[in-house]
Structure 1
Amino acid sequence: MKNNQDHFDVLRKIRNSPNSSQRELAEELGFSLGKLNYCLKSLQEKGLVKIKNFQQQKNKIKYVQYILTPKGISERTKLTINFMKRKMREYDELKKELEDN
């Protein structure tokens, strides 16, 4: 379950910030750089994310862009729905606990 949550968080962040560096993404997600790299490779192997490398020849600056594939968009939607269902269940449980007290 934790792996799904990590993938969900990474897919959401990529959707909102496709031009962020791995370091920026890791910092924003609270992941180590190694953990983010592992998640990105896993998502890429599953065909959910494409990683494009660009290099500006003049300054030799390397840019990376993370792109959700159609399969990645579908998976993000599925994970979002599961996330919302889980939060609604938690809300209902907490509400019931408060009503019982």
Structure 2
Amino acid sequence: MSERILDDETRYRLLRLLADDPSLSQRDLATEIGISVGKVNYCLRALLNKGYIKATNFKNNRHRAAYLYKLTPAGIRAKAQAASCFLERKQAEYERLEAELAELRREVRQASSGSDMES
């Protein structure tokens, strides 16, 4: 179940955001990624359990307890691996979309030249 929720894209985006700003709240992470706070909490626990991040308490500016999420060396490696998988998948999507666009352009040209002949 955890692998379906914590897929490569979510793992990569969480690790990238935390590498850039370890003090982001779970609500901030949820907003940035476009997922629920509950899913962020679940994913962060999975990252903690895998040893990819460490969480330490600190007081934020609203005098409330908050966490600082720091990537571990294993987390840095996991981020690089997730980035590679994410890039491969996005590149394949791009190539499929590019081929589909080329086909649509061809169909539009054929339809345009066909309607010119009918006039």
TM over 0.5: yes
1:78 and 2:54 are equivalent in the alignment: no
Question: CA offset at residue 55 of structure 1?
Answer: 4.3
Q: Greater helix share, 1 or 2? A: 2
- TM-score, with normalisation over the residues of structure 2? 0.72
Q: Is there any run of 5+ residues in structure 1 with no aligned partner, and where?
A: none
Structure whose CA Rg is larger: 2
Q: Greater strand share, 1 or 2? A: 1
Alpha-carbon distance in structure 1 between the residues aligned to 2:87 and 2:31: 24
- TM-score, with normalisation over the residues of structure 1? 0.83
| 8 Å contact from structure 2 (residues 5, 43) kept in 1 | no
TM-align CA RMSD: 2.1
Identity of aligned residues (%): 37
Look up the match of 1:45. 49
Question: CA offset at residue 29 of structure 1?
Answer: 1.8
Q: Is there any run of 5+ residues in structure 2 with no aligned partner, and where?
A: 107-119
Alpha-carbon distance in structure 2 between the residues aligned to 1:2 and 1:35: 8
